[in-house]
Amino acid sequence: MKLRATLQRDLLFFKIAQAVEKIGRSCFIKFTSDYVAFGAIHSLTDNDSTGGGGLIQCWSRLSKESLFYEYRIESNANNEIYLEMKAEDLLLAMRSSNNATAIVMRMSGRSTDAYLTFSITSEDHHGNSRAITQNVPIINILSMNQVINTPVFNEPMVPAPEVHIMLPQLDRLRHVTASYKNLADHMVISANLQGEMVFTTSDGVQQFYHNSYYKSGRPERGQDQRSGSDLENNDEGGAEEEPVTTRYGMAEKAHVETRFTNLHNPTMLVGDDDHPQLDRQRIRPKEFASVLVRVADMQKVLQSHYVKPSNVICSIVPNHSILFYVYIKDDTQNTTLTYFIPENSL
């Protein structure tokens, strides 16, 4: 089993590791003759300090040319190698790569004590070359049987999304989620086919307040400025809130909302006339599709800013899940890093 390659100078290999670091304890990497795939999953047993939910998953498949040159791989498993590693260990090697002129990666050691070894060459301010070696431990070299039983390599089955929308700038959303984290554990992400997207944080019934309140589109001027306590005492809105109350229960009435407008709704290639997005576009384009997620989970997704994406498309399956397609700037092909978050219940 042999693996050796020189990293491209944009260090995209390390940046992908940064983007998936917060998802789970382990990062899985699949090396093949043609491409490299990354995967990570946050299971219910990953009780880390970030307080994320369960079964968050991300994956990406990149051409070998986008990550490496002088790439060579050999194995008895159809020239494929599956590694389980800690992304945080890879980032230690990345920190030694600032101003590097060349970085060569290779597998070293025995199968029971294996490493990804990074030989890093850099220059000081006098132009003198300096070499550093970083050995990153490989937790496990997976056999084919282990690969089959590892869910991270299986993309989740998801119903057809009803709304696709381009995200606002990731830096703005990072500030939004950071402030929301101090107020509540959950947030509602909503979007429609009129370029509107709403991020709401609250507790209990008010989390899905706008799901019924904005059902017919943008509210009348001044309506969305009411506080949670005002809404609770509003007799006219009681009938609409009842099914939400039944599902999510009553709790505190804090309510904070951030609204973005004039966002782009990308046109998806849909061949089925009964596709839910086409139905929504024809009949109810102003109606919001919503999903409830943990704030900490959304913060994990926003780690994708490290890859400096060209754009990010959000796809919402109401009351089921939300997906984020992070488009990576790559001259060789269209490359995406995909995040999947199932809806969380309170």
In a domain, 97, yes or no: yes
The last residue of a domain, from among 87, 119, 153: 153
Q: Is the same domain home to 210 and 328?
A: yes
Q: Is the same domain home to 54 and 120?
A: yes
Q: Is the same domain home to 148 and 177?
A: no
Residue 78: per-residue pLDDT:
92
Nearest CA-CA partner of 81 in 30, 34, 140: 30
CA dist., res. 156 & res. 163, Å (int): 18
Look up the CATH number of the domain holding residue 293. 3.10.150.10
Look up the CATH number of the domain holding residue 66. 3.70.10.10
pTM, entire model: 0.80
Q: Is the same domain home to 142 and 196?
A: no
CA dist., res. 27 & res. 21, Å (int): 7
In a domain, 289, yes or no: yes
Q: Is the same domain home to 146 and 57?
A: yes
Count of domains observed in the chain: 2
In a domain, 294, yes or no: yes
Q: Is the same domain home to 148 and 176?
A: no
Q: Is the same domain home to 167 and 277?
A: yes
Whether 120 has a pLDDT exceeding 90, the answer reads yes
The last residue of a domain, from among 153, 172, 201: 153
Whether 158 has a pLDDT exceeding 50, the answer reads yes
Q: Is the same domain home to 262 and 317?
A: yes
> What does the radius of gyration of the chain's CA atoms come to, in whole angstroms?
23
Q: Is the same domain home to 181 and 325?
A: yes
Q: Is the same domain home to 171 and 121?
A: no
Least confident of 15-24, 257-266, 278-287, 307-316: 278-287
In a domain, 158, yes or no: no
Residue 244: per-residue pLDDT:
44
Whether 216 has a pLDDT exceeding 80, the answer reads no
Residue 276: per-residue pLDDT:
60
Question: What is the DSSP track for 290-313?
Answer: EEEEEHHHHHHHGGGGGG--SEEE
Q: Which one of 46-60, 126-140, 194-208 scores highest in mean pLDDT?
A: 126-140
Max CA-CA distance within the chain? 76
In a domain, 85, yes or no: yes
For residues 268-294, average pLDDT:
72
Parent domain of 26: 2-153
- Sheet of strand 100-110: strand arrangement: 68-74, 2-7, 100-110, 113-123, 129-137
Mean pLDDT estimate for the chain:
80
Q: Is the same domain home to 131 and 7?
A: yes
The last residue of a domain, from among 115, 134, 153: 153
